[in-house]
Structure 1
């Protein structure tokens, strides 16, 4: 009880506690990782990762070199003893001179919340284990964008592995394959230790496009390999969808598909927001790749079009936090709307600093905008712990000589607890009902 009183006082003041080291020297970029060939039997499951697939279900994805390998997952709560089995689907694709392996997607469930399951893909091969998220608060998210495959990527992944998180959120730019399709395979192997154990929920960035005019549509590789629960959330595209964890409703939007008011994505977003029940999910988060609030010279203004189309809708819906990538640095805003601090606006966080090969974005615009609280060009990751229906703790951890150093932190109060949701109820209704 005393702890909650302390938290309440801290949150009410909305105090941001930051650690800034004046003599900190940012590290240099690290080289792209090189992967040794490690031939495996054709049936062997590779690039295993999991994602949420609706309430009480999980999608298991893996790749095999054997086209005849079944898309079957056996699973249970005891190692080596599988009480359930699920049959899924598979796909593959060709990209110029590259042919993918057989990509399997199998949904397992119903699963108990906050429970460890052991599973095996394809009827043979190694055993993996996963842990389902909790049904209630607290729930913790690891957040990082623009990962790539460098020495800093590996450092970031090691730090995330030390975090006691339930779900990984990634706002775009995964593998940095950039048309070299084998780099999708090495990325899948790189993240498998983490992505096979905790669900990874991702949205696309510019490096996932890989379109070739007249030859290849965009996002073919991404859509084939990283299938998200778009169908489960009523979306017609893998590029935007939503899902719920504990008491949090999370919307993943696409910065690189149509988003104007006449677009399918905008129509879906309105329909999705109309279904949000803030008594059931008091926290509302949104992720996409290109930040709207960015005081870095890199990619300045690139999110303005999407912001003009969607910010008023997200504001009326009382979105608590917006998480983006793209800019290879970290920045956190005050609650903001329409370019100005607003107690009923969202906290915007740019976290495109996972470890990509393009390096950090050092150039910031001065003076620092009024809405910007903390900004730094360093590699790192974020952790968001939703403590209860009203309080959340956000922290950003800089990669400092391979040690995760907490460099920015803040308690955040949900807008449900502020009265903003009830104040904007009619405004949201009018926007949702507009043709």
Structure 2
């Protein structure tokens, strides 16, 4: 469907100057041999998507049989990057230690210790430019310079391993930076297309969805998941398996992966009540500030908790809610499970974001949130996040002329007309449920006849949506199934 805006705009493009590289070759660092297992690489847009990208990956504990290297701390993440596959001219070392967490697994299967999760944001990049990268991690030990890391061979056990030369020690990929704000196409004339879906999981249909994405990755600018990512059910080994699955498809090492929080991403620890542990440790979105998370008092049954997540959870900032600009579009990712009552941190931030959007630069305003506020299906109609969304968020969306609101949660697909307060109205957004990413599709309709604001609805096939922007007044939504 072609989406038409009710106004015409002037597109303003600003130009950023290239600044000095982050590389600090020659500095001395206490680093030893490379870690052997680097995996789960994925990307996320930086705070300024046209000039920065966050590269995330995991490593196991670095172990060397060579007594020369005595590990004195967690491994150090390193990214080599450049505009040529054969010449990655800049080296960026993590300035913060990697994330790692412990968890008690459910169903009496013991305790869990995660890998190390490295998140390195590369800045001072050029807009609309392809970069090639490779990432590794090293032990902390005897001091070496970055120049030595590239030019010398290191003994690790009985092997001689040149830094970042053997695939066992690194993973690699490439990406294209976002354009300058306001631009409608990249330097090659390509328009921007965003993939949007929710409730992906690691199931048979999930694999088909990922395979289709991978086959069309050159057409995709960013992938946006509207919550319920791995369906771990409290078993953090499932998160590892989910990322193992992503590793099979290069698209996730080439296209940024932006995520929203779903109920199955809460991962409450039954004894301590800790929430969103994996979600905060394994991803690094362009955060407003570090996450604030407080445990749910008394913990509780995971199954009962996930079926009716209380509102609100004490979770703000971090990966909970954030925004970014991509060309002619402003994207606001909301947390259905954080407080969005008037006066709350999320509400205050959202109002400020909506009020400062310059529609002459970013004429398209997109909202992503897990729980839909328009729902033609029986499931989740009585969730407090749904009813409060209609009460609190919809007036903001209508007032500020949000173009499209994409959700998941319900395992089905639905698209509305422009709707405001339950009536078809050109001033309101189009609401989409795209919860058919791969988990299941089993949501019965509430009524045999669809509501007046429903354009299409389906709970029989899996798929995902794409949103392609043509100009300041026309964009195209497609349901791929």
State TM-score, norm by structure 1. Answer: 0.79
Cα deviation code 1:114-158 (max 9, x no counterpart): 222111112632332222233321211011110000110011111
Does the 8 A contact of 1:133 with 1:139 survive in 2?
no
Cα deviation code 1:390-425 (max 9, x no counterpart): 110110011xxxxxxxxxxxxxxxxxxxxxxxxxxx
Partner of residue 131, structure 2: 117
Distance (Å, rounded) in 2 between the aligned partners of 1:279 and 1:232: 28
Q: Does 1:159 align with 2:215?
A: no
Out of 145, 148, 154, the residue aligned to residue 201 of structure 2 is 148
Distance (Å, rounded) in 1 between the aligned partners of 2:129 and 2:437: 29
Distance (Å, rounded) in 2 between the aligned partners of 1:126 and 1:301: 45
Partner of residue 479, structure 2: 396
Partner of residue 417, structure 2: 334
The offset of 1:162, in angstroms, is 3.0
Out of 70, 76, 93, the residue aligned to residue 76 of structure 2 is 70
Q: Does 1:306 align with 2:389?
A: yes
The offset of 1:169, in angstroms, is 1.0
SS at match of 1:140: strand
SS at match of 1:74: strand
Partner of residue 95, structure 1: 103
Q: Does 1:322 align with 2:405?
A: yes
Partner of residue 133, structure 1: 178
Out of 272, 278, 284, the residue aligned to residue 215 of structure 1 is 272
Count of residue pairs the alignment pairs up: 363
Which has the higher Rg, Structure 1 or Structure 2? 2
The offset of 1:300, in angstroms, is 1.8
SS at match of 2:76: coil
Out of 37, 55, 64, the residue aligned to residue 60 of structure 1 is 55
Out of 342, 345, 353, the residue aligned to residue 261 of structure 1 is 342
Partner of residue 107, structure 1: 121
Does the 8 A contact of 1:144 with 1:352 survive in 2?
yes
Out of 186, 189, 199, the residue aligned to residue 241 of structure 2 is 186
State TM-score, norm by structure 2. Answer: 0.72
Distance (Å, rounded) in 2 between the aligned partners of 1:274 and 1:232: 20
Partner of residue 455, structure 2: 373
Cα deviation code 1:8-40 (max 9, x no counterpart): 9x9599xxxxxxxxxxxxxxxxxxxxxxxxxxx
Does the 8 A contact of 1:54 with 1:232 survive in 2?
no
Does the 8 A contact of 2:5 with 2:473 survive in 1?
no
Does the 8 A contact of 1:292 with 1:301 survive in 2?
no
The offset of 1:359, in angstroms, is 4.1
Distance (Å, rounded) in 2 between the aligned partners of 1:334 and 1:134: 30
Does the 8 A contact of 1:80 with 1:127 survive in 2?
no
Over aligned residue pairs, what C-alpha RMSD do you find? 2.2
The offset of 1:112, in angstroms, is 2.0
Partner of residue 239, structure 1: 320
Does the 8 A contact of 2:437 with 2:462 survive in 1?
yes
The offset of 1:233, in angstroms, is 11
Does the 8 A contact of 1:69 with 1:122 survive in 2?
no
Does the 8 A contact of 1:292 with 1:307 survive in 2?
yes
Out of 21, 24, 36, the residue aligned to residue 43 of structure 1 is 36
In structure 2, runs of 5+ residues without a counterpart are 7-33, 63-73, 105-110, 138-163, 165-169, 185-190, 292-315
SS at match of 2:246: helix
Does the 8 A contact of 1:43 with 1:69 survive in 2?
no
The offset of 1:313, in angstroms, is 1.2
Out of 74, 87, 90, the residue aligned to residue 84 of structure 1 is 90
The offset of 1:160, in angstroms, is 1.7
